[in-house]
Amino acid sequence: MSLAEEQNQKLKLAEQIIGYHFNNERYILSAITHPSAAEGKSVRSSYERLEFLGDAILGAIVVSTAFNRYPDLDEGGLTRIKVALVSGSSLADVAQKLGFEDVIVFGSSETGTGKRGLHSALENVYEAVVAALYLDGGAEAATAFVTETLIPRMNIDMAKEPENPKSALQEKLQEDGITPTYKLVETQGPPHDRTFVSQVYAGDHALALGTGRTKKEAESQAAKSTLARLQEFLGFGPDDGDKKRAKKDAAKKAKAARAAEKREHKQAQAAARKREADARRDAKGKNREQ
């Protein structure tokens, strides 16, 4: 299948999913085209410019809706609702459930990697579609799409002061003597628009992944996902004795490993002090001989 054929098929599918027929098909075609499929072409050939515009329009729609829906919320609460709704993980999840994964046109350089940037692409395509609707049908078309697909996720709980997921996870795991650590496992996107993927570990046991626009956000999302799935990762039913014992054994091993590490560190320090003392003694001896 040629790229033109694939684009035409996916364009039609995108219109079906969105429920809107574009008068200017160039807008929606650009919105669903990954930069890898537009290499060497005009910047308007992929979603990059559109998602920049869509981000601003999306934020305005969300803020306007929250402002009118929750008249007693202060600026901080409104901001937290906006951040929660337009976060990368939120938009990517909505886009995936809509079926946008099937309409993105990837270039050969990306499809050969197993579409490792899919999470970021889903987020960007959602924003680009908002912009495409705005350019083709005005604010009414863009608002109708966001209201139908994203706004149902809005709720007053999003306005609450967020608990620090990393601190909460650390406190939870340290009950069993485990300190969580984080590792950056992937960086997606161009230098000006990075998306980071981090994984949280309990000892050498990999837990959940998290994605964000910054390393800090990615780690926070990884911690948040782990907390949501803590029973699956580390918590075992009250009657599951074998697994509970395995969990305790793992905690004991982690504690023993830390103790051994401290002993080795102290021994290394003592050895270093002894070498320094021997060196000073030898130096004094040579001075006396002279």
Q: Active-site residues: which are they?
A: 55, 127
- Report the phi/psi class of residue 244: left, alpha or beta, with left for phi > 0 and alpha for psi in -120 to 50: alpha
Amino acid at 5: E
**CA 87 to chain centroid:** 9
Residue 66 corresponds to which tokens in the numbers above? 């929250």
Measured between alpha carbons, how far is 272 from 286 in angstroms, rounded to an integer?
A: 21
Continuous H helices in 150-240: 165-173, 215-228, 230-233
Residue 176 corresponds to which tokens in the numbers above? 């069993």
Closest listed residue to residue 121, CA positions, set 161, 88, 82, 156 = 88
Using the structure block, give the residue that is written with the tokens 């999003």: 158
Distances (CA, A) of 282 to 79, 170, 272, 276, 277: 68, 49, 15, 10, 9
Angle CA(93)–CA(111)–CA(113) in degrees, nearest 5?
Answer: 90
- Hey, CA dihedral for 53, 55, 57, 60, is it positive or negative? negative
Contacts for 149 with CB less than 8 Å, ≥ 6 apart: 94, 98
